[in-house]
C-alpha cells in the first residue's frame, strides 16, 4: 500500500500476503452484507480483549514523575474527554500555516498515491482577511476550492466567524518564517483529520532519516546527556503518535472507500518496539507538563472568535484542563524540567539543541504530502511551544510577566496534546490485545512475524 502519511514506512505486498487469511475474512463478510464505512484489517474479539489485563507497561514513565497506570486512568477519565471537546471549538479548530514552500535541503520528489492529492489554488481574497477583521466572512459562493475534496488534500473550507490575532513573538525553538505573511493561510483542522494519505516515494522515508540521523540521533544507553535524550524521546514519541493515527484511520479499500483500523500496521510500526510506546507516553507527559506550567497564562488568555457563547465554552474547557483537581492530585508534575540544564555547558548545549530542533521544523517544508505537511508543522510547532514554555521562561511565579505566546502556538500546543492523548488512549485500549493476536499469529506453523 506504500507509505502511510508521515510515518514513512512501507506496507508492501509481502505484508498483505502475511495477513491474507484475515483479509479473506473481511472480503467474505463483504459478500454477504453491505460494506461498512469503518472496519479493520482484523477484528479484535472479546476473548482477545480479555487478555488486556496483563499490561507490560507498569511503574513510572521513564524520565517522568507519573506511572503508566495513572496516565491511562487520567487520560481516559479526564484529559481525553476535555481535549476532544476543546479542539472542536471555533478558536482551536483553525490553524495558520504556510503550506506551499520550497524544501531548503533537497528537491522535493514526494507524491501522494491517492487520487487528486494536490489542492487547487484558491483566490487570494478567500483568506486570511476573515480572520483579521472580526465579524467579516465569506459567502458560500466564494468557497470555490471545495469541489471534490480529495482525501489526501487539505480542505480549506472556512467558517464565517473570525478571531483576533495575538502577539507575534519569535519562538527560539522554531524557524522564524512561520509568522503572519501573505503566504500563510488558515485551515479548518476538523475538516483535515490526521490519517492515512497514501504518501509514497523517497521523500517520506527521507524526512525521518534527516530528522533522526542529522538532528536527533539515538545515542547508546548511558552515553548521552539527559537534554539530548529528551529531544530524541520527544521526536520518537511524536513519530509513534503519527503512526498510531495512521493505523487507526486507514484506507483499507480504495475502490469501496472503506476506512478502518489497521491493527497489523499498528503492531509493525509501534507495538512491537516497546521503546516507541514508552516514548509516546513520555512525549504526552512532557507536553502535558508544559500546559500545566502555563496554566495561569492559558486561563487568562483571550479566546475571542466573535461568538460569545462558544468563547465562554472554550475558556471553561481550558480551565477544566489546566486546573483539573484529579490531574493535580494524581500527577502534579508530569515532567520535572528543573533537572535539566544543570551543567557548566548549559548555554552552549541549549543553543545546540535549539539549532537541531529548528532544523527539524525546517524539514517539515520538505514533506511532499500537503495534509502530512499540515499536521507535521502543527505538531512540531506544538513541541516547540512546549520547549519554549519549559526551557525559555524561568520561574513559575512570574510566568505571566515573562511568557508570551502566539495564538498559533496555543492552537498547536492544545491540538498536539489532543493528538497524543488520542494515541495513548488507542494504544491502551487496543495495544495488548493486538500484540497477543500478532504474537500468536507469528507462532503458527508456516508463518513469520511482521518485520
Binding-site sequence positions: 195, 197, 208, 236, 239, 269
Which grid cell sits at 108? 522535493
Cα of 355 vs its chain's centroid, Å: 22
- Residues 414 and 277 sit within 8 Å (Cβ to Cβ): no
Is residue 145 annotated as a catalytic residue, yes or no? no
Q: Which residues have a Cβ under 8 Å from the Cβ of 342 and sit 6 or more positions away? A: none
- The helix or strand, by DSSP H or E, that contains position 188, with its residue range, turns out to be strand 185-188
Residue 373: closest CA among 153, 191, 106, 176: 153
- What is the distance between the alpha carbons of residues 389 and 409, in angstroms, rounded to a whole number? 11
Question: What is the torsional sign of CA 118, 124, 126, 129?
Answer: positive
Q: Which residues have a Cβ under 8 Å from the Cβ of 352 and sit 6 or more positions away? A: none
**How, if at all, do strands 2-3 and 10-11 pair?**
antiparallel
Is residue 66 annotated as a catalytic residue, yes or no? no
- The helix or strand, by DSSP H or E, that contains position 16, with its residue range, turns out to be helix 13-18
- The helix or strand, by DSSP H or E, that contains position 260, with its residue range, turns out to be strand 258-261
- What is the distance between the alpha carbons of residues 234 and 308, in angstroms, rounded to a whole number? 36
Which positions are catalytic? 369, 372
Amino acid at each position: 500500500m506504500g507509505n502511510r502519511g508521515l510515518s514513512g514506512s512501507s506496507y508492501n505486498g509481502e505484508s498483505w500476503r502475511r495477513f491474507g487469511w484475515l483479509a479473506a475474512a473481511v472480503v467474505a463478510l463483504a459478500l454477504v452484507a453491505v460494506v461498512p464505512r469503518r472496519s479493520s484489517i482484523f477484528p479484535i474479539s472479546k476473548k482477545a480483549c480479555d487478555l488486556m489485563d496483563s499490561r507490560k507497561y507498569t511503574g513510572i514513565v521513564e524520565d517522568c514523575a507519573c506511572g503508566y497506570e495513572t496516565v491511562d486512568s487520567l487520560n481516559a477519565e479526564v484529559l481525553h474527554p476535555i481535549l476532544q471537546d476543546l479542539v472542536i471549538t471555533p478558536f482551536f479548530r483553525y490553524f495558520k500555516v504556510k503550506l506551499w514552500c520550497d524544501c531548503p535541503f533537497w528537491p522535493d520528489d514526494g507524491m501522494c498515491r491517492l487520487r487528486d492529492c494536490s489542492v487547487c489554488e484558491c483566490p487570494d481574497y478567500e483568506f486570511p482577511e476573515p480572520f483579521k477583521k472580526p465579524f467579516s466572512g465569506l459567502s458560500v459562493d466564494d468557497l470555490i476550492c471545495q469541489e471534490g475534496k480529495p482525501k489526501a488534500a487539505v480542505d480549506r473550507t472556512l467558517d464565517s466567524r473570525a478571531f483576533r490575532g495575538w502577539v507575534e513573538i519569535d519562538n527560539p525553538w522554531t524557524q522564524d518564517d512561520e509568522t503572519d505573511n501573505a503566504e500563510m493561510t488558515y485551515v479548518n483542522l476538523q475538516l483535515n483529520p490526521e490519517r492515512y494519505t497514501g504518501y509514497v516515494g523517497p521523500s517520506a522515508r527521507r524526512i525521518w532519516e534527516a530528522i533522526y540521523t542529522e538532528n536527533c540521533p539515538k545515542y547508546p544507553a548511558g552515553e548521552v546527556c539527559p537534554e539530548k535524550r529528551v529531544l530524541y524521546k520527544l521526536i520518537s514519541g511524536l513519530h509513534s503518535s503519527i503512526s498510531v493515527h495512521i493505523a487507526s484511520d486507514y484506507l483499507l479499500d480504495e475502490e469501496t472507500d472503506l476506512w478502518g483500523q489497521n491493527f497489523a500496521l499498528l503492531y509493525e510500526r509501534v507495538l512491537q518496539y516497546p521503546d516507541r510506546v514508552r516514548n509516546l507516553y513520555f512525549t504526552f507527559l512532557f507536553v502535558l507538563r508544559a500546559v500545566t506550567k502555563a496554566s495561569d497564562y492559558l486561563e487568562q488568555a483571550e479566546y475571542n472568535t466573535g461568538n460569545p457563547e462558544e468563547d465562554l465554552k472554550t475558556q471553561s474547557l481550558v480551565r477544566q484542563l489546566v486546573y483539573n483537581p484529579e490531574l493535580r492530585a494524581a500527577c502534579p508534575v508530569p515532567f520535572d524540567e528543573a533537572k535539566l540544564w544543570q551543567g557548566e555547558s548549559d548555554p552552549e548545549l541549549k543553543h545546540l539543541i535549539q539549532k537541531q530542533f529548528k532544523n527539524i521544523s525546517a524539514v517539515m517544508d520538505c514533506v511532499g504530502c500537503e495534509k502530512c505537511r499540515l499536521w507535521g508543522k502543527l505538531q512540531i510547532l506544538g513541541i516547540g511551544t512546549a520547549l519554549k514554555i519549559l526551557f525559555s521562561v524561568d520561574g513559575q511565579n512570574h510566568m505571566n510577566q515573562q511568557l508570551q505566546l502566539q495564538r498559533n502556538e496555543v492552537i498547536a500546543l492544545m491540538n498536539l496534546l489532543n493528538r497524543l492523548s488520542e494515541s495513548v488512549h488507542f494504544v491502551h485500549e487496543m495495544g495488548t490485545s493486538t500484540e497477543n493476536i500478532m504474537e500468536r499469529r507469528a507462532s503458527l506453523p508456516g508463518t513469520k512475524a511482521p518485520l
